[in-house]
Amino acid sequence: MEGYIVLSNGMTFEGTWHGDNPVSGEVVFYTGMTGYQEVISDPSYHGQIVVFAYPLIGNYGMNMDDFESSAPTVSGVITGEVYEKGHHYQANTTFAEKLKNHHIPFMSNVDTRTLIKVIRDEGDMKGMITNDLEALKNFQEDIGIQAKLVKEVATKDIQTYGEGNHHVVLMDFGYKKSIVQALLEKGCRVTVVPFDAKEEVIYGLKPDGILFSNGPGNPKELKPYMPLYKKLAENFPTMGICLGHQLMALAFGGNTKKMKFGHRGANHPVMNLKTNKVSLSSQNHGYVVEEETLAGTGFQVLYKNVNDSTVEGMVHTKYSIITTQFHPEAHPGPRDYEFIFTEFIERMGERKEAKSYA
């Protein structure tokens, strides 16, 4: 069945339609050659239609272990080609079957190369995928990007995992399962709490450290919670990942801005400004911290993107805070920055030791 991807700039691309109802969202692209299972289940992609740059998707199927959340969270998917079977010893379903089972429409046989060039030239934009041209008459009404994306993917309950020596409270804005797994593997107990958890609830959990997770949308939508986030970061060793990194900058007086087309892939080079060492990182973000607004916040830039010099990580000069715009847990992607979790754990240990001598 013929389908269409229509962009807000008026351009239309044709392809093969798979799915039920038309959907709209922000059209973004992902450059990794593998990792499609992790991408479609990463809550940070909630509200977005993902265009896969790699021409063949689905060749190794889907398994039970590599999901970043309980179900796919993307609004829709666009590919050049979808392999309908998928061969891998762990695979228990196919890419197409998983999307269909969760009523997520997708399109194949699309000229993704040209589509991505348009996005790179004009920036991430709103779009709709549909098999019904009549639906396009409601394009302007249906195309709006949802404002409360975090609330739709974050947990509503408190959940605890593991029995480690260090207790991390993870503020959930749409966290990836692999972040929790990375902490568990390093001997932590992790309690996941809603992004709007009350101060007394968090303090009552007696954390050794706080981790602000990744998540979808504009970080400025969480402005009412900034005073609490700042207070927590001032009182506990803190780590921020992706959206959490942006929230730390905002909470201490910095600013963020929308990028033209964001960073979404598994091979983004990042430089450590202290060592001048460059390593590859996994990334997924459409907003970035403005470096010039960090003056007076106490934050120093530690990591920068080699390609465009955007801020990729910070450390605070007074408080025990480390942040990364990239994903140190990777999954998918390189594990070059997994050591940052170890640094976070060491900071929690130092705080415990200092308290024992107090």
Write out the catalytic residue numbers: 242, 327, 329
At 312, list the tokens.
């990729």
CB 43 within 8 A of CB 159: no
Q: How far is 351 from 270, CA to CA, in rounded Å?
A: 29
Measured between alpha carbons, how far is residue 113 from residues 58, 79, 118, 123 in Å? 18, 10, 9, 15
Query: Strand order of the sheet with strand 256-272?
Result: 159-161, 188-194, 166-172, 209-212, 238-241, 321-324, 311-316, 299-305, 256-272, 278-289
Q: 240 - beta bridge partners?
A: 212, 323
Which residues, in sequence order, are CB contacts of 277 under 8 Å at separation 6+?
271
CB 215 within 8 A of CB 177: no
State the DSSP string of 55-106.
SEE-TT-B-SS--SSSS--BSEEE-SEE-SS---TT--B-HHHHHHHTT--E
Which residues, in sequence order, are CB contacts of 164 under 8 Å at separation 6+?
183, 184, 186, 187, 188, 189, 190
State the DSSP string of 187-201.
TEEEEEEETT--HHH
Q: How far is 187 from 164, CA to CA, in rounded Å?
A: 4
Measured between alpha carbons, how far is residue 90 from residues 16, 66, 86, 235 in Å? 28, 10, 10, 44
